[in-house]
Amino acid sequence: MKLRIATFNLENLGEKPHHPGEAPPLADRIAVLRPQLLRLDADVLCLQEINGEKAPSGYTLAALEALLEGTRYADYACLATERAPGKGPLDVHNLAILSRFAVTRHRQLRHEIVPPPAYRSVTAEPPAHEAEAITWERPLLQAALRLPNGRSLHVLNLHLRAPLAAYVPGQKAGAFAWKSVSGWAEGFFLAAVKRAGQALEARLAVDELFDVDQEAMIAVCGDCNAEARETAMRLLAGDEEDTGSGALAGRALTAAENSIPEDLRFTVLHNGRKVMLDHLLASRALMAWFRGAEIHNEALGDELVAYANIGASPESYHAPVVATFDLPD
């Protein structure tokens, strides 16, 4: 049985609720993004950055539904992040898991496993006198899927905090400008804590699955905003050389992109630099059936050049990643 798992950051699909009129026309985005989804030919598809569309009852995923219309994915089971159980999607940056297999369990994680750490700012103006919680902006999305051979496939979809300095009271001079290097540095530190915290929560969710089944088939997919040996990726992978224990080697996750030549191993172009920010990691039980990976980056534009020179681009400046497995029937 062939199994294709893919991840793709759609980069603000749909209207921007807090900046109406800034998004490119949805029809233009569909014309560019739908062929990319068709090429993935995925059985399980993890998507990031789906904005909610304002409706009388809250927000809907109308833009995603329009993108999927007429494709194989329109008939897939669709799970998405919610503001609260049964309350509909978030206003921005929703995650979605599309699956042609039945969903047996799912949950979203945001401090369900890892409580928010407390921290007192040292550069805030006016000065902070008490510690405050450092919370993650986005949840993780986890699902168990029933494969035709009776096995379960566990999928975690995530979008980790970007390496952009987080807000520090009284230290911002503008949207991207700071009043002091110290204020920016503290904000950058806080962003790193948030990113590592999300990765830790995902890692602990993975270990919960291993506690139940050492041979669990697990895929962790998404925009990690980190390259292979950065903190977030090391937390997710749990490599033997980091844990220092051969007894824990079976719990390590392997990045599917490792099978791709290094010069082709990138999902973002940033000011001419190739970076691998989007990843698909698999457990050893799933990697046993691994047959190859692809990164569809042939037409990828440079995000900094594009933002400076192109108005309302319909592109996503992230390349999708797909891994193929040949499972026994």
Measured CA distances, 87 to 80, 82, 95 (Å)? 11, 6, 15
pLDDT of residue 100: 98
User: Residue 251's domain is classified under what CATH number?
Assistant: 3.60.10.10
Q: At 169, phi and psi to the nearest 5?
A: -55, 130
Amino acid at residue number 289: W
Amino acid at residue number 94: N
For the segment 6-64, what is each residue's pLDDT rounded down to a tens digit? 999 999 999 876 666 667 999 999 999 999 999 999 999 999 999 999 888 889 999 99
pLDDT of residue 19: 60
Q: Which of 64, 50, 138, 62 is nearest to 92 (CA)?
A: 50
For the segment 176-210, what is each residue's pLDDT rounded down to a tens digit? 899 999 999 999 999 999 999 999 999 999 999 99
pLDDT of residue 123: 98
**% of the chain surpassing 70 pLDDT:** 97
Is residue 211 over pLDDT 70? yes
Coil, strand or helix: which one is 253?
strand
Question: What order do you get walking across the sheet with 217-223 strand by strand?
Answer: 102-109, 140-146, 152-159, 217-223, 278-283, 253-255
Measured CA distances, 196 to 83, 226, 236, 277, 299 (Å)? 22, 10, 9, 14, 31
Cβ distance 273 to 263 under 8 Å?
no
Residue found by looking up tokens 């400008």 in the block:
177
For the segment 79-128, what is each residue's pLDDT rounded down to a tens digit? 999 998 888 999 999 999 999 999 999 999 999 999 999 999 999 999 99
Mean pLDDT value across residues 318-328: 97
Is residue 70 over pLDDT 70? yes
Cβ count within 10 A of residue 118: 10
pLDDT of residue 308: 67
Q: Which range of residues forms the domain containing residue 33? A: 2-326
DSSP 202: H
Higher pLDDT, 260 or 309: 260
The model's pTM: 0.96
pLDDT of residue 329: 87
Cβ count within 10 A of residue 321: 29
pLDDT of residue 304: 80
pLDDT of residue 17: 63
Across 19-23, 146-150, 303-307, which has the greatest mean pLDDT?
Answer: 146-150
For the segment 267-287, what is each residue's pLDDT rounded down to a tens digit? 999 999 999 999 999 999 999
Number of domains in the chain: 1
pLDDT of residue 221: 98
Given 3-state DSSP classes, what are the helix, strand and coil percentages for the chain, each rounded to the nearest 5?
A: 30, 30, 40
Contacts (Cβ under 8 Å, ≥6 apart) of 71: 34, 37, 38
